């Protein structure tokens, strides 16, 4: 009998040593496919193992995004709410910060949206662009985007001159609502920025034709952005005040 045969014979009566997890080192059952401690695959690079690792990576990415977004919201809110001082370095006003534990991801995304639009309206393009990537990621992390969120996202892309992504959100607004007023608002703004007078007139005509029917639907996003909608309606030249000249007399 060889030495190898002797070792095999000696080991027959001994219980098999439980394999260790290559990821965390925990002892595992020989027939187990995944580690009960960390969830790592024990069968090599299998499809299930890759799925499990990918799922953990996605969860980690989403969690990280939430932390980064919340931190950004707290930073700019704290900066805006801190009282100005010239005699001493500014002290963070922690009492003015919102309770982030009570803020949803949508609320955080909307805070970033408001920050971007306020900076853009004040002509501070550099500040607006600084928050664009965070806002885009925040809206992208939402489980689903309603039309109000898509309108916000399209405006954010517009600030960044990202016409391609803005057009995608406009197309999404039109799904199920071909004459959606906020889609027309966005198209009008694009036409004005590009100096396309023909497109501007076309959009205004489409807006005027769709206004009564669409407003009657009572869409929540219309109420949220009613001032913007009414502003575009007032810009329609066909709604100009009629002449005050007396009937039968030509205006002088």
Domain residue ranges in the chain: 51-82+94-144, 146-237
Distance CA 139, CA 39 (A): 30
**Angstrom distance (rounded) from CA 101 to CA 108:** 11
Distance CA 126, CA 130 (A): 6
Tell me the CA end-to-end span of the chain in Å, nearest whole number.
126
Which ranges in 91-219 belong to alpha helices (H)? 105-121, 125-140, 147-159, 163-174, 181-194, 197-215
| Rounded CA Rg of the chain | 30
Which residue carries 């219980």 as its tokens? Answer: 15
Cα 78 from Cα 92, distance rounded (Å): 7
CA dist., res. 173 & res. 167, Å (int): 10
Encoding tokens for residue 111?
A: 């805070």
Tens of pLDDT along the chain (252 residues) come to 555 555 555 555 544 455 677 766 766 555 555 555 555 566 554 444 443 344 434 444 444 555 555 555 555 544 444 444 444 555 544 344 455 457 799 999 999 999 999 999 999 999 999 999 999 999 999 999 999 999 999 999 999 999 999 999 999 999 999 999 999 999 999 999 999 999 999 999 999 999 999 999 999 999 999 999 999 999 888 775 444 444 444 333
CATH (one of 2.60.40, 3.40.30, 1.10.10, 1.25.40) for 146-237 = 1.25.40
Query: Model's pTM, two decimal places?
Result: 0.60
Query: How many C-alpha atoms does 90 have within 13 Å on its Cβ side?
Result: 11
Could you say which DSSP state residue 20 is in? Answer: B
**Which residue stretches of 122-146 are H helix?**
125-140
Cβ-count burial of 93 within 10 angstroms (0-12 exposed, 13-18 middle, 19+ buried)? middle
């Amino acid at each position: 009998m060889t030495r190898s045969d002797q070792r095999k014979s000696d080991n027959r009566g001994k219980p098999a040593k439980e394999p260790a997890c290559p990821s965390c080192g925990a002892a595992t059952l020989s027939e187990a496919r995944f580690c009960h401690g960390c969830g790592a695959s024990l069968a090599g690079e299998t499809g299930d193992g890759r799925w499990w690792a990918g799922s953990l990576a996605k969860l980690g990415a989403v969690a990280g995004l939430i932390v980064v977004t919340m931190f950004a919201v707290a930073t700019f809110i704290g900066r805006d709410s801190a009282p100005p001082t010239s005699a001493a370095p500014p002290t963070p006003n922690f009492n003015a910060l919102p309770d982030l534990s009570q803020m949803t991801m949508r609320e955080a995304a909307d805070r970033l949206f408001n920050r971007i639009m306020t900076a853009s309206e004040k002509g501070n393009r550099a500040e607006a662009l600084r928050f664009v990537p965070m806002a885009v990621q925040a809206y992208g992390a939402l489980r689903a985007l309603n039309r109000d969120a898509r309108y916000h996202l399209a405006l954010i892309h517009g600030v960044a001159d990202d016409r391609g992504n803005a057009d995608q959100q406009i197309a999404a607004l039109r799904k199920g609502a071909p004459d959606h007023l906020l889609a027309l608002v966005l198209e009008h703004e694009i036409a004005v920025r590009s100096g396309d007078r023909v497109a501007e007139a076309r959009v205004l005509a489409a807006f005027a034709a769709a206004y009564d029917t669409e407003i009657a639907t009572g869409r929540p996003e219309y109420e949220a952005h009613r001032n913007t909608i009414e502003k575009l309606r007032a810009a329609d030249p066909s709604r100009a005040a009629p002449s005050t000249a007396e009937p039968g007399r030509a205006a002088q």
